[in-house]
Amino acid sequence: MLNKENINDIIFDFGGVIINIKYNDTINAFKALGIKNFNSMYNQVKQTRLFDQLETGHISKINFIKEIKRFIPSDTPNEKIISAWNAMIKDVPKKTIEYLIALKSKGYRIFLLSNTNEIHIEEAIKSWNKTNYPKPEKIFNNIYLSHKIGMRKPNKEVFTFICDKESLEPSKTLFVDDSIQHIEGAKSIGLNTHHLLNQVDIYSLFS
């Protein structure tokens, strides 16, 4: 059981924690475009180097699309590839944003740490804006996106980087994520962790 009295700061994952995502929708969309084994290239647990490069900002959106076209008909419109890639991005529950606002009002500092890319984050922000709540940068104390900082979970360097930059004490910081490999990475530097098994579970963290 988490002792909330010891927690001052909380680092949240984005996809599957704040925003709803469905990996299978993107997998099925790329299968429809002709990549039958896309689920072996990209899923919640593992991904190939191409997607690592995209998530750490080492490959541009245009070059990512070019690489994808190696596996599908080369005349496939770019828009169809982007649409397939974004198929997993769903809604941001208003209740979740209200929960974040409530946590901040109680004195917790809250941070966002996401393995993402320039294509997904544009779509995710569109979903967030549909809620008519303040933008993420108005709610979180700071936001760390893998393609911007050149590091991604579960590498321990990304957790150390944030703790150093924000002067966080790992023993007084909670990391919330829905992927077990990311949880293990956070534990390796002494962070408190919560493996979110379903999104409803987030509301009971500090109840």
The predicted pLDDT at position 201 comes to: 77
Q: Are residues 30 and 12 in the same domain?
A: no
Number of domains in the chain: 2
Is the distance from CB of 11 to CB of 141 less than 8 angstroms?
A: no
Structural domain containing residue 32: 23-86
Distance between CA atoms of 107 and 78, rounded to whole angstroms? 45
The predicted pLDDT at position 40 comes to: 87
pLDDT digits (tens, 9 = 90+) for 80-125: 999 999 999 999 999 999 999 999 999 999 999 999 999 999 999 9
State the pTM of this model: 0.94
Q: Are residues 158 and 100 in the same domain?
A: yes
The predicted pLDDT at position 206 comes to: 79
Parallel/antiparallel/unpaired status of strands 109-114 and 142-145: parallel
Mean pLDDT of 64-68: 96
Q: Are residues 60 and 144 in the same domain?
A: no
The predicted pLDDT at position 199 comes to: 66
Structure tokens at 81: 């590839």
Phi-psi group of 16: left, alpha or beta (phi > 0 → left; psi -120 to 50 → alpha; rest → beta): left
Helix, strand, or coil here: 103? helix
Q: Are residues 58 and 72 in the same domain?
A: yes
The predicted pLDDT at position 45 comes to: 75
Which residues are within 8 A (CB) of 49 and not within 5 positions of it... i.e. 6 or more apart? none
Q: Are residues 109 and 176 in the same domain?
A: yes
Distance between CA atoms of 6 and 172, rounded to whole angstroms? 6
Q: Are residues 17 and 116 in the same domain?
A: yes
pLDDT band of residue 58 (cuts 50, 70, 90) is very high
pLDDT digits (tens, 9 = 90+) for 142-174: 999 999 999 999 999 999 999 999 999 999 999
Is the distance from CB of 195 to CB of 202 less than 8 angstroms?
A: no
Q: Kindly report the average pLDDT of the chain as a whole number.
A: 95
Q: Are residues 118 and 197 in the same domain?
A: yes
Preceding omega of 154 cis (within 30 degrees of 0): yes
Distance between CA atoms of 140 and 59, rounded to whole angstroms? 27
Q: Are residues 71 and 136 in the same domain?
A: no
Q: Are residues 154 and 66 in the same domain?
A: no
Last residue of a domain, one of 53, 86, 119: 86
Distance between CA atoms of 138 and 116, rounded to whole angstroms? 20
Last residue of a domain, one of 55, 86, 117: 86
The predicted pLDDT at position 207 comes to: 67
Q: Are residues 97 and 15 in the same domain?
A: yes
Q: Could you tell me where the beta strands, DSSP code E, fall in the chain?
A: 9-12, 109-114, 142-145, 173-177, 192-195
The predicted pLDDT at position 43 comes to: 75
CATH number at residue 55: 1.10.150.240
Q: Are residues 96 and 187 in the same domain?
A: yes
Phi/psi of residue 9, nearest 5 degrees: -135, 150
Last residue of a domain, one of 59, 86, 113: 86
Distance between CA atoms of 85 and 120, rounded to whole angstroms? 8
CATH number at residue 11: 3.40.50.1000
User: DSSP states of 148-187 as a string?
Assistant: HHT--TT-HHHHHHHHHHHT--GGGEEEEES-HHHHHHHH
Q: Are residues 105 and 190 in the same domain?
A: yes
